[in-house]
Amino acid sequence: MTGPHPAVAATRVAVRPALTEAGPGSRVLVGCSGGADSLALAAAIAFEAPRLGVVAGAVVVDHQLQPGSAEVAAAAAGQCRALGLEPVEVVSVQVTGGGSGPEAEARRARYAALEQAADRLGAAQVLLGHTRDDQAEQVLLGLVRGSGARSLAGMPARRGRLVRPFLALDRATTRAACDAQGLNPWEDPHNADETYLRVRARRLLGELEAALGPGVAAALARSADLLRQDADALDELARTARGGLGEGPWEVADLTALPRAVRTRVWRSLATEAGSPPGALFAVHVDALEALLTDWHGQGPVDLPGAVRARRFDGRVTLEPSRRVE
């Protein structure tokens, strides 16, 4: 008696730890777009969940960004139901034209919809189909942007209820798993549209593999794992430091005493607490805050996103909504 195709076996093995952690009687949801990665994930969950006593459903998010998106979402939902997942919901979202770009806005809307579905259905986990290739692309984009360790750490295997069991598998494995099981993944035309930065990163990653030899994606993903450990440790140090500072205004000497890698994280915490949106804080803002300590020459306040203003006076620094310090 032969076992399943090696790619199918790999996807099933990959999801078992997450389902075991969820535990018998719990409910999980697959976030399924209909693409090869999420469809292979849906098939693996549909096979493994009943054997572990876990109830598994799916959510298909229709971003309404392309003609025929409703039909694509309905087809993905139909394949999920055919696999035995229940319930399967299609959720339509509106992607706003925010300043962070269409990809980021679509991602924000998608994750919000998945979290809401998990709340509504009482799901312990929402499983996502990101692969090692996605992780490598994320790291490459971080390098291009000159990002810090947290960005270069890529996507975590778990963040809250969001779980990514395929981060150790490559995209070729998920495609092979779909082929072996007779599944028909949707090919998103956006994946060939080089107006999207991620699509260009994907092409570049392929060129790097061709020029430098196979293993570039795996090496980038491995670097992300190592950097995540460092970033987690620094974040914990920053949380401790932030707690020790107490309420503002904060003494310049106390802030200066912190190592810069910790202090930049503390700046982000202080700015967020004052009202700056976390996703809107960039290195240029943190550098301006740093200058209040390391390049002080009597300069005026630092304006931050979210109508927050930082200023130094009498050897102390304060971050507050701008209307309170004008």
Q: Is 36 annotated as a binding residue?
A: yes
Q: Is 31 annotated as a binding residue?
A: no
| pLDDT computed for residue 326 by the predictor | 42
Q: What is the pLDDT of residues 15-25, one digit of tens each?
A: 999 999 999 99
Q: Which CATH superfamily is domain 6-219 in?
A: HUPs (3.40.50.620)
Q: Is 213 annotated as a binding residue?
A: no
Q: Which residue has the tokens 């309170």?
A: 324
Q: Is 37 annotated as a binding residue?
A: yes
Any idea of the CA torsion for 234, 239, 240, 246, to the nearest 10 degrees? Answer: 140
Which CATH code, of 3.30.465.60, 3.30.1600.10, 3.30.70.120, 3.40.50.1110, is assigned to 246-324?
3.30.465.60
Q: How far is CA 284 from the centre of its chain?
A: 22
DSSP state, 275?
Answer: T
Mean pLDDT of 172-190: 93
Split at pLDDT 50, 70, 90, the class of 323 is low
Q: Report the DSSP beta bridge partners of residue 27.
A: 55
Residue extents of the structural domains in the chain: 6-219, 246-324
Q: Is 269 annotated as a binding residue?
A: no
Q: For the chain, give the mean pLDDT.
A: 92
Side by side, the strands of the sheet bearing 158-159 are: 88-92, 55-62, 27-31, 125-127, 162-163, 158-159
Alpha-carbon span 185 to 42, nearest angstrom: 11
Mean pLDDT of 133-151: 85
Model's pTM, two decimal places? 0.84
Q: Tokens standing for 97?
A: 């034209």
Residue 104 reports pLDDT greater than 90: no
Segments in the chain forming alpha helices (H): 6-22, 36-51, 69-83, 102-121, 132-145, 149-152, 171-180, 197-212, 216-245, 252-256, 260-274, 283-294
Q: Which residue has the tokens 């806005």?
A: 105
Residue 8 reports pLDDT greater than 70: yes
Residues 6 or more apart from 143 whose CB is under 8 A from it? 152
Residue 75 reports pLDDT greater than 70: yes
Assess whether the previous peptide bond of 249 is cis (omega < 30° from 0): yes
Q: Is 223 annotated as a binding residue?
A: no
| pLDDT computed for residue 325 by the predictor | 43
